[in-house]
Amino acid sequence: MVRHCRFLAFALLFGHGLVMAETDEDGFKRPLDQLKINPALDQREFERATLQALNVYDPWDSWNRRVYHFNYRFDEWVFLPVVRGYEFVTPRFVRSGVSNFFGNLGDVPNLLNSLLQFKGKRAMQTTGRLLINTTIGVAGLWDPATRMGLPKQREDFGQTLGFYGVPDGPYLVLPILGPSNLRDTGGLVVDFTAESQINFLNVSEVSSDHPEILGLRVIDQRYTTNFRYGQVNSPFEYEKVRYVYTRARELQIAE
Amino acid sequence: MPRLARFAALLGGLILSAPLLAQDIDPAGYGYPLENPFEATIATTPPELRPPLPTDEDIDQSDYSLKLRPEREFELPSNFWPVKTLRYRLARQDKPAPLIFIIAGTGAHYSNSTMEFLKKLFYGAGFHVVQLSSPSSWDFMAAASRFATPGLSTDDADDLYRVMQAVRAQHPKLPITEFYLTGYSLGGLHAAFVSQLDETRRSFNFKRVLLLNPPVNLYTSVTNLDRLVQTRVKGIDDDNTFYEVVLAKLTRYFQQRGYIDLNDALLYDFQQSRQRLSNEEMAMLIGTSFRFSSADIAFTSDLINRRGLITPTKYPIDEGTDLSPFFKRALQCDFDCYITEQLIPMWRARYDGGSLTQMVNQVSLYALEEYLKTSDKIAVMHNADDVILGPGDLGFLRRTLGDRLTLYPLGGHCGNLNYRVNTKAMLEYFRG
């Protein structure tokens, strides 16, 4: 019954504003007839919008493309096989524990950058996450905070710089790390330095003696990233990734 | 009395000889929640109405590659290295089982979300599953297509058939009981042509073939898709392009929500917010995604065949070459442009072809009318509000397939493939 009501709610919400299309004798609803279409069919909006979207400042294009191809090969031949091995030898709860643990460490820069952008509510929530996950979640191995309604909210120093109006600079493809730009690469360095200075849960200090911790972190990073090279399946994947990265960063900074 | 008997015989004969009617699914009992065909096409089915599926960890699967066109190693520029061999994905059961081939839609990769969904559905039902990229996709054109000019359905089916045979040969120990075939969108049309080819080549003897939302008249479909980017969207002016209008809505939506959380439910929530997209905007989005496909096809076909329309024939290309100038040129080419500039000239040169109408008749489902009428193993599932259809297309399917056509009242283009009612019908069809 409850499910039925949900159906009904869905139908009402989605149905409104739409004239019920009448069907012809074959039962065809002619969905295109509902659209306001430019009668001359000479609107060049797709072309105009896409050409403009291709204008991403990319003076190091040639180098970037070579790094992109290097990353693609590295991903195919090293990264993904290692991730598959990792998936093979560890049960799922171990992997989610690892992801949560490093995710909890990542909440430290999230908190700092929220504060730097005067996002008070977000800073409070991230503080709450850190407290709950570090204590009840046993040093971050579990993530009870998300279940309690405190979702993870990423903020990095690149976003903070963007918040203060620093332009993103040339597009840059980093070896192994992937798409970035000059501003965000600087932000990455700052976040990394801050993390090793703060040395939360002693992880940074221990990592310097045990590089395998850093290795695990890198594997976990790849494990949790859904992107696969080639899935866009286009000769212009480089251009598409570049656009999506640039726009996604703008969205993250605006939000 | 004899007159009555004669009348009864006549009546009986009429009833029996009347064509079987398509299975029209009653809108009242169907329960699919999205009444807007554009919304259905983009968002597909709400997560809670999808069927239960096995997770990736429960599936024994790997990607394999085939070297079908070794000469392309030397013909293609070095930045094409990922597509010099054809990749595909095979999910295997641990016991003898039927195998199903799935063919992707326009420009689509074997591992896109619809393909992964269909794989999980059929794997969960006990099939070995092979996922194949569309003959209109970049990787297939470069690695497996003889002429690399997709659109001639018989040629595309021939290429696909060779791929399927090579897949079979690569796994000689896989215990297969029977072969099945399916495809969605353009892949559905290909499945029909492959099935016909199999009647003479007999490598697989497909037991059942299911076409999901196939184009009927290929030219109608591509014309519809080309038209979708001609909708009038409010808010576009000299300073704001279409993308900026949509992204501004998305930004406002996230700002109102307070945080970014990308998941399956996002699209529904977004469409219920004040920032919801209009029909014209959604149509433009769908059209945009197909325009990117047509740009890829135009660029790749031109480059492989050295036609010089987009890329100059002797232009040196390596991994560091900026492809943007060619992307910009290819973007101007919609399906109609690709057909006029590349497909028809190639068809005329190679097959002594005639007019556009002749070609359209050869590459559309019309060419298979007799075959579809007589082959009981082929069925079609389609939607009454599919955006790739034109007037008369459903009439053709009704006449040709009779009760082997299942017509759903809603779903847009492929939006209801992952709706529980549809998946149940799909599995039931294959189980027989």
What pLDDT sits at residue B48?
92
- CA-to-CA distance for B310 and B297, rounded, in angstroms? 11
Residues 6+ apart with CB under 8 A from B152: B343, B347, B359, B362, B363
Q: Are B394 and B19 in contact (CB under 8 A)?
A: no
- With a cut of 50, say whether residue A173 has pLDDT above it: yes
Q: Which two tokens stand for residue B236?
A: 């576009």
Q: pLDDT tens-digit profile of B275-286? A: 899 999 999 999
- Name chain B contacts of A20, Cβ cutoff 8 Å: 35
For residues B306-327, average pLDDT: 95
Work out the pLDDT band at A8, boundaries 50, 70, 90: very low
What pLDDT sits at residue B260?
67
Q: A251 vs B254: CB contact, 8 Å cut-off?
A: yes
Looking at the DSSP assignment, which residues form a beta bridge with residue B378? B209
Largest CA distance in chain A: 76
Q: B260 vs A13: CB contact, 8 Å cut-off?
A: no
Residues 6+ apart with CB under 8 A from B38: A31, B279, B282, B283, B286, B387, B412
- CA-to-CA distance for B281 and B278, rounded, in angstroms? 5
User: What is the amino acid identity at position A46?
Assistant: F
Q: Distance of alpha carbon A164 from its chain centroid, rounded?
A: 21
**SS3 of residue B199 by DSSP:** helix
CA angle A10–A15–A19, rounded 5-degree value: 175
- With a cut of 80, say whether residue A2 has pLDDT above it: no
The domain ranges of chain B are: 27-218+356-431, 225-351
Specify if A11 maps to a domain: no
- Name chain A contacts of B255, Cβ cutoff 8 Å: 254-255
- With a cut of 60, say whether residue A222 has pLDDT above it: yes
For residues B193-214, average pLDDT: 97
What pLDDT sits at residue A4?
44
Work out the pLDDT band at B273, boundaries 50, 70, 90: confident
Q: Are B207 and B123 in contact (CB under 8 A)?
A: no
The correct answer on CATH 3.40.50.1820 for the domain covering B27-218+356-431 is: yes
Of B90-99, B213-222, B248-257, B342-351, least confident by mean pLDDT is B248-257
Residue of A nearest to B317 (CA): A62
For residues A116-141, average pLDDT: 90
Work out the pLDDT band at A232, boundaries 50, 70, 90: confident
Specify if A126 maps to a domain: yes
For residues B363-371, average pLDDT: 97
The DSSP output letter for B231 is B
- With a cut of 90, say whether residue B261 has pLDDT above it: no
B33/B255: higher pLDDT: B33
Structural domains counted in chain A: 1
Residues 6+ apart with CB under 8 A from B288: A46, A50, B229, B242
- CA-to-CA distance for B331 and A117, rounded, in angstroms? 40
- With a cut of 60, say whether residue A14 has pLDDT above it: no
Q: B138 vs A233: CB contact, 8 Å cut-off?
A: yes
Q: Considering chain A, what is the average pLDDT of its residues?
A: 87
B308/B8: higher pLDDT: B308
Residue of A nearest to B389 (CA): A30
What's the number of CA atoms in the CB half-sphere (13 Å) around residue B208? Answer: 12
Q: Considering chain B, what is the average pLDDT of its residues?
A: 93
What pLDDT sits at residue A210?
86
Per the structure, the complete domain to which residue A140 belongs is given by: 59-254
Largest CA distance in chain B: 90
Work out the pLDDT band at B272, boundaries 50, 70, 90: confident
- Name chain A contacts of B107, Cβ cutoff 8 Å: 233
- Name chain B contacts of A15, Cβ cutoff 8 Å: 35-36
- With a cut of 60, say whether residue B12 has pLDDT above it: no
What pLDDT sits at residue A16?
42
The percentage of residues in chain B with a pLDDT greater than 70, rounded to a whole number, is 94
Q: pLDDT tens-digit profile of B121-161? A: 999 999 999 999 999 999 999 999 999 999 999 999 999 99
Compute the nearest-CA separation of A244 from chain B (Å): 11
- CA-to-CA distance for A178 and A188, rounded, in angstroms? 12
The percentage of residues in chain A with a pLDDT greater than 70, rounded to a whole number, is 91
What pLDDT sits at residue A30?
93
